[in-house]
A and B are shown apart, each in its own frame.
Chain A
Amino acid sequence: MEGLGINLPGLITQIISFLVLFGVLYALLYKPVLRIMDQRSQKIREGLESAERARQEAVRSQEEMQKKMDEARAEGQALVAEARGIAERFKEEELTKARQEIVGERDRARANIQRERDVAIEELRQEFAGLAVSAAERVIERSLDKEAHRDLIEKALQESSELKRK
């Protein structure tokens, strides 16, 4: 052993030296560096997970928004359709009303005209009868007796009422 250079003091010194090195490196290097490496991988894992979560969140919110937009569009279309229906109905009503009014107005106007005409015809007849009587008096003053006179008038009246009736 002595020839190989192995001796107890040397061996013990080397063992102590190595143990000191081990202890110092353990406290100074292994523990903190391993801790920081673990922390980092933890952080990276968390980051990746949260990014994945955010991505999913974004997809979901986009879908939601799309759905809402679709809903809104459908609702809008329904509203427009309803409004159009109402307008149609309103127009129809107004038209009917207007038509009725027009018809009423026309009937009233026609009745007025009829009345006016009747009045005018009556007036005309009166006037004509008067004129005819006076004219006839003048024309046939002597030729006619009382009897003939009366027939003539009646006849004329008959004709005028037929005229009126027409």
Chain B
Amino acid sequence: MARFLSNPKVLAVVLVVGVLFLVGLLGGALGDSLFGTGFLKSPVAHIQLPSEHLFTDPFISLGPPGQGSFFITNSMLATWVTILVLISVALLVRRRLSLVPRGLQNLVEVIFEAFLGLVESVAGAEKGRRFFPLVITIFLFIVTANWLGILPGFGTVGRLETADYIIEETRHRIEEKGEKEHKTIAVIEHEIEAELKRLKLQVYDGSGSVSFMPLGTGTKEITAYEYEEMKGKGDLEGRRVGLLVPFLRSANTDLNSPLSIALIAMFMVEFWGIKALGFFGYGRKFINIGSLLRGKPFGIIDAFVGTLEGVSEFARLISFTFRLFGNIFAGEVLLVAMGFLIPLVGIAPFFGLELFVGFIQAFIFAMLTLVFAVMATAVHESGEH
């Protein structure tokens, strides 16, 4: 260890990282609460489950306002960025595809070779070739989306949703809900006030069209109620209050994305199952009352197992969705929390963790799809023992 440190380059790196860690420790929320030094502190970013709308106005509006409107969200944008990245790589490889591989083609072939080997070892050569495109697309999309999602800029650069707009929206939402439930105006007003007192907003500095959060502003978090009061008294002094709407948000932290992949995966699994066993052959797996109709009382067990199979098919959809969403969303929250506690380098190990989790989740999703497909296309014996 001592000999290792005597290398001046290594020593310099260790010193710089150590100093940065100490500065982060002192400057972050951890240092703020321990020593009262919060010079790097910023408030915890606003965390919400639904992805944020990129524009205030809906992209396509169908029906009455607030219903059936199509908003472009930041996670959709991240999805498209992911797709763009993958297609660019595909184009680059396609353009100089040769029998003697070079550069990027090598990388792609290594990944393909590994996956094809895996898929063929699980599903057999012929079926493997059929399942391979979907399995690898799922893997590539999820892993790219996850890894892009921890790049700087995701979740930190965006537009400022003004406090006035947020308050207006909140008021509108509660009023509508109250009217539906036939509450009196006084009750609704009371509910709105309670909600505004709960709603936290962040204070930004800025000039022109650029707003930013200055360092060490951790305490400058106010509720919407306080904002309205300050606004009434004219105490704002040109500061901007609102919430950040990031332009980009990791695609899989929006439930729509994992759910859509899960839907496609399960749809294809059912499709392959029906194709391999025939419609009735495959359907017998779920509605298995053949032996019951033939007068065997124990056929009831088969029928019950069939029902369970049907339920488990649905459960797979949900576990697919929430496993991926939960892991990636939790990772984002973890990064936000660590950035809040120990800024600068304290967060670095967790980036490593997120890289690992992002890869593992993509791999699990792809492999489970493959296994379900293999199970669905396997020829079952027909219940007779």
Q: Does A51 contact B (CB under 8 A)?
A: no
Q: Does A79 contact B (CB under 8 A)?
A: no
Report whether A10 and B76 are in contact in the complex, using a CB–CB cutoff of 8 Å. Answer: yes
Report whether B109 and A5 are in contact in the complex, using a CB–CB cutoff of 8 Å. Answer: no
Question: Which residues from chain A contact B69 at a C-beta distance below 8 Å?
Answer: 9
Chain B 264-297: CB-based contact to A (< 8 A → 1; otherwise 0): 1000000000000000000000000000000000
Number of interface residues of A (CB under 8 A): 32
Question: Which residues from chain A contact B79 at a C-beta distance below 8 Å?
Answer: 14, 17
A21–B88 alpha-carbon span in the complex (Å)? 11
Chain A 9-25: CB-based contact to B (< 8 A → 1; otherwise 0): 11101110111111011
Also in contact, A14 and B70, with CB within 8 A (given A6-B255, A30-B132, A33-B93): no
Question: Which residues from chain A contact B260 at a C-beta distance below 8 Å?
Answer: 11, 14-15, 17-18
Report whether A36 and B99 are in contact in the complex, using a CB–CB cutoff of 8 Å. Answer: yes
Report whether A40 and B94 are in contact in the complex, using a CB–CB cutoff of 8 Å. Answer: no
Report whether B83 and A4 are in contact in the complex, using a CB–CB cutoff of 8 Å. Answer: no
Stretch at the interface among B26-34, B134-142, B147-155, B372-380: B134-142
Report whether A25 and B99 are in contact in the complex, using a CB–CB cutoff of 8 Å. Answer: no
Q: Does B229 contact A (CB under 8 A)?
A: no
Report whether A22 and B134 are in contact in the complex, using a CB–CB cutoff of 8 Å. Answer: yes
Chain B 211-242: CB-based contact to A (< 8 A → 1; otherwise 0): 00000000000000000000000000000000
Q: Does A148 contact B (CB under 8 A)?
A: no
Report whether A5 and B94 are in contact in the complex, using a CB–CB cutoff of 8 Å. Answer: no
Also in contact, A28 and B112, with CB within 8 A (given A4-B49, A21-B141): no
Chain B 66-101: CB-based contact to A (< 8 A → 1; otherwise 0): 001111010010011001001100110110011100
**Min CB distance, B181 to chain A, in Å?**
16
A15–B48 alpha-carbon span in the complex (Å)? 23
Question: Which residues from chain B contact A5 at a C-beta distance below 8 Å?
Answer: 48-51, 254-256
Question: Which residues from chain B contact A39 at a C-beta distance below 8 Å?
Answer: 99
Question: Which residues from chain B contact A47 at a C-beta distance below 8 Å?
Answer: none
Report whether A28 and B76 are in contact in the complex, using a CB–CB cutoff of 8 Å. Answer: no
Also in contact, A15 and B263, with CB within 8 A (given A5-B50, A5-B255, A40-B99): yes
Q: Does B176 contact A (CB under 8 A)?
A: no
Question: Which residues from chain A contact B71 at a C-beta distance below 8 Å?
Answer: 9
Report whether A33 and B141 are in contact in the complex, using a CB–CB cutoff of 8 Å. Answer: no
Question: Which residues from chain B contact A34 at a C-beta distance below 8 Å?
Answer: 112, 116, 132
A26–B132 alpha-carbon span in the complex (Å)? 10
Q: Does B360 contact A (CB under 8 A)?
A: no
Contact of B108 among A2, A26, A29 (CB under 8 A): A29
Contact of B87 among A10, A15, A24 (CB under 8 A): A24
Report whether B137 and A37 are in contact in the complex, using a CB–CB cutoff of 8 Å. Answer: no
Report 23 cross-chain contacts, Cβ distance below 8 Å, ordered by A residue.
A3-B50, A4-B50, A5-B256, A10-B73, A10-B76, A10-B256, A11-B260, A17-B83, A19-B264, A21-B87, A22-B133, A22-B134, A22-B137, A24-B87, A28-B90, A29-B94, A30-B136, A33-B105, A36-B98, A37-B112, A37-B116, A39-B99, A40-B99
Residues of A within 8 A of B (CB): 2-7, 9-11, 13-15, 17-22, 24-26, 28-30, 32-34, 36-37, 39-40, 43
Residues of B within 8 A of A (CB): 48-51, 60, 68-71, 73, 76, 79-80, 83, 86-87, 90-91, 93-94, 97-99, 105, 108-109, 112-113, 116, 132-134, 136-137, 140-141, 254-257, 259-261, 263-264
